[in-house]
Structure 1
């Protein structure tokens, strides 16, 4: 069973078949994580209002990499072709700023696959979805015992050191393996293809291993780009 705010999701039958989808480049939502959003575009303000009055569910999904080519015509950028897999989020916090924006928090429920987009006169996009292949996302902590936590923390420390950054290690120590893996995946500074690979990983352990490999490659690349001085 998955919980998001006051709602519980026991099976894909608890999830609506048609949802609004929010295309976000290099953005990742995963089960039981939270994503804060600052909404200001009129079409997405209408999308949030639609979701609030329906099931409070919005699908976060990336555009396909070729769809964000800045050389494309504006109409192509308005409705880029979407990836096939995204993640459902329930609006669990909502606030109006007084200057026309709304601040919302989405809590991840489970991943979904796009069956087809729905033709509509609405200014935002709707899609028919299927969650059956991701039903295991509804089980909290599934596969946590197979995660290489120490390997993930080691590469995370190396990343922080390389970028002169700090972390709240007390909070990290208290985090479950699931929250640790998914939160670090969301925070990772990678592109569309890498974020999609993390999203579509078949298991929590595979997601952790994928993130470790990506970060090691990133660190190695940064190291090779650093000019060496002779002593």
Structure 2
């Protein structure tokens, strides 16, 4: 049962195998990064359930390893987290550190999971519609070369959905379930015309 230092940040999700760039400026999180660098370079990204200080946390997040770090003259950091494994919180710990810590269990994901060809085709078709509606210019040849896990998780991580939708994607059990939910969200947000409210601005 690992103890994980957590970074609660609404709208920001991380997936295994993907990267998340972050600018760290609050004193408590600067202390968190310094502590992580002195230990194993790992922190857990997770969303709070509300923007209030000390708000309850959602149950599922992702452990990331600090892959790249730039220490700035003002004491801040620019870092890049490399996603390693999803985790589920068992309990939050009573700690004296300025940053929060939890006991958690790691979630075993199948990194070699694949979609059925009809699932992949359906996703790419809906993704093209959504991108066109939102005015996004994408290299579809490059998209087509991504494996299923990189494609579905990558879109889930950067999609401009609200925090609750992004959390639902992170918690989805299996690649097919995440793909199906992603299609539903693209259809919903595409119709609503509300694709960039509360989206992640750190990526």
Q: Normalising by structure 1, what TM-score?
A: 0.78
Alignment coverage as a number of residue pairs: 193
Corresponding residue of 2:166: 195
| Range 47-56 or range 144-153, more displaced | 144-153
Find the partner of 1:56 among 31, 37, 41: 41
Mapped to 2, the partners of 1:93 and 1:170 lie a distance apart of 29
Are 2:156 and 1:171 equivalent residues in the alignment?
A: no
Mapped to 2, the partners of 1:153 and 1:184 lie a distance apart of 11
- Segments of 5+ residues of structure 1 without an aligned counterpart are 1-15, 69-76, 224-231
- Report which of the two structures shows the higher radius of gyration computed on alpha carbons: 1
| TM-superposition CA deviations, 1:33-85 (whole Å, max 9, x none) | 11111111111111011111112111111111xx22xxxxxxxx221110111
Tell me by how many angstroms 1:207 deviates.
0.4
Mapped to 2, the partners of 1:205 and 1:158 lie a distance apart of 20
Mapped to 2, the partners of 1:97 and 1:151 lie a distance apart of 45
Are 2:82 and 1:107 equivalent residues in the alignment?
A: yes
Corresponding residue of 1:213: 184
Q: Normalising by structure 2, what TM-score?
A: 0.89
Tell me by how many angstroms 1:221 deviates.
2.4
**SS of 1:144 mapped into structure 2:** coil
Tell me by how many angstroms 1:198 deviates.
0.3
